[in-house]
Amino acid sequence: MQKVITRRKKTIRDIEVQGKRVLVRADLNVPLNEDGSIADDTRIRASLPTIRYLCERGARVILCSHLDRPQGVVVERLRLALVANRLSLLLDRPVLALQDCIGPEVESAVAGMNAGDIVLLENLRFHPEERADDPAFAESLASLADLYVNDAFAASHRSHASIVGVPEHLQAVAGLLLAKEIDTFTRILENPDRPFAAVIGGAKVSDKLGVLENIIRRVDLLIIGGGMAATFLASLGYGVGASSVETDRLDDVRRISAKTSELGVRLLLPRDVVVAGRLDSGVSARVVPVTAIPDDMIIADIGPATASEFCQELTGCRTVVWNGPMGVFEVPEFAEGTRRVAATLANLTGTTVIGGGSTVDAVIRFKLADAMTHVSTGGGAALTMLAGKSLPGVEVLDDVEEEGP
């Protein structure tokens, strides 16, 4: 069976950092409210262990990150000063926000740093060269530091300058968050406690096809919910009303279903669903069996019988990875299926891994994140690992030298 990570990577625990200028690629891409304030600082908090580790050991910490998608131009509301302020509060030490991420003023500020100081470079994506992995831009970033630390798991599936370009010029190791993410996904995919279940939801099969193809070779139980369940149900000949069906993926779904049977993997699909005319709050909704979905209705959530079956089966598992909600949980009328699965995993005796993206938003909304074994900070990066593929931002880091026989 294909391994996800074939070589162990060095972390900040493997190197000497005292007195060094350390460029840390963090993921500080926080959601913002309409007034420009930080809506959720989960990703900032996730970066704190690495920053504290470096500061306590006398490093000069140079943080860099992107924020949203400014498309290579300066967007005032996407400056990182507000992130620096939140970091200062959480760390209880000053974090100086710089006005750019390269150039003479940045070089001067870095040159004036003392041991334990922290600066935060300006939004990397104000420069189009970041996303283009421009060699000169990467070299300019690298020139600020003696060491490079990647702690941005959520961006490590991107071949951007700050992710894959900088390590060409510096010793490059993983931060504590990145190491934890990689270790967690590698462990559950390669050596899980069994029974091992995957709960896969979300809108589209096409977004999760690689995950499905990889995960069915590793799990004992596969549970399908969310909008993508409509395509699975359609592949069996059920009418799914006005629900979106990826007709170009029906053969893929049939192949995956056949493969689960061949491998002895139990595949659970919804048997009842919540349907509505629109996916909006306040609309009339009702529960119907999957054999009787009205032509003018859209599947909005799994039904109560399905939720009971899913939760009962999950209760007997020792490892569960969950990626993708069971319904449109943002709308209260369609949140119950996702909430029940989240509550079941929160009470599970075993390992529960929440695979990023909207699933993380759901467990945070239901105030159950702290009850999970691991809540990933990465959406696309988590999907990449669950699909059994390597992350460019991890592959470029320095390997741990394996001991001889």
Active site residue 204: yes
> Measuring CA to CA, how many Å separate 315 from each of 187, 195, 266, 320?
21, 10, 15, 10
CA 18 to CA 57: how far, in whole Å? Answer: 5
Backbone angles phi, psi at 53, to 5 degrees: -55, -45
Q: Are strands 298-302 and 272-276 parallel, antiparallel or unpaired?
A: antiparallel
Segment 128-133 long-range contacts (CB within 8 Å, at least 24 positions apart): 128/71, 128/72, 129/161, 130/66, 130/72, 130/160, 130/161, 130/162, 131/72, 131/158, 131/160, 131/161, 132/161, 133/159, 133/160, 133/161, 133/164, 133/165
Which distant-in-sequence residues (6+ apart) come within 8 Å of 213 by Cβ? 256, 387
Catalytic residue among 58, 116, 210, 380, which?
Answer: 380
CA angle centred on 327, ends 321 and 331, rounded to 5°: 125
With residue 352 as reference, give the H or E element that holds it: strand 351-354
Active site residue 303: no
Q: Are strands 147-150 and 21-25 parallel, antiparallel or unpaired?
A: parallel
CA 307 to CA 305: how far, in whole Å? Answer: 5
Catalytic residue among 52, 204, 255, 389, which?
Answer: 204
Dig out the tokens for 191 from the structure: 């050596």
Contact 80, 120 (CB under 8 A): yes
Dig out the tokens for 167 from the structure: 């390590």
Report which of 259, 274, 261, 293 is spatially closest to residue 226, judged by C-alpha positions: 274
Segment 115-118 long-range contacts (CB within 8 Å, at least 24 positions apart): 115/18, 115/19, 115/58, 115/59, 115/60, 116/55, 116/56, 116/58, 116/59, 116/60, 116/61, 117/60, 117/61, 118/51, 118/55, 118/61, 118/63, 118/87, 118/91, 118/93, 118/94
Catalytic residue among 43, 60, 86, 249, which?
Answer: 43
Q: Are strands 374-375 and 60-64 parallel, antiparallel or unpaired?
A: unpaired
Report the 10 Å Cβ neighbour count for 261: 10
Active site residue 357: yes
Catalytic residue among 357, 378, 379, 393, which?
Answer: 357
Active site residue 45: no
Residues classed as catalytic: 43, 204, 357, 380
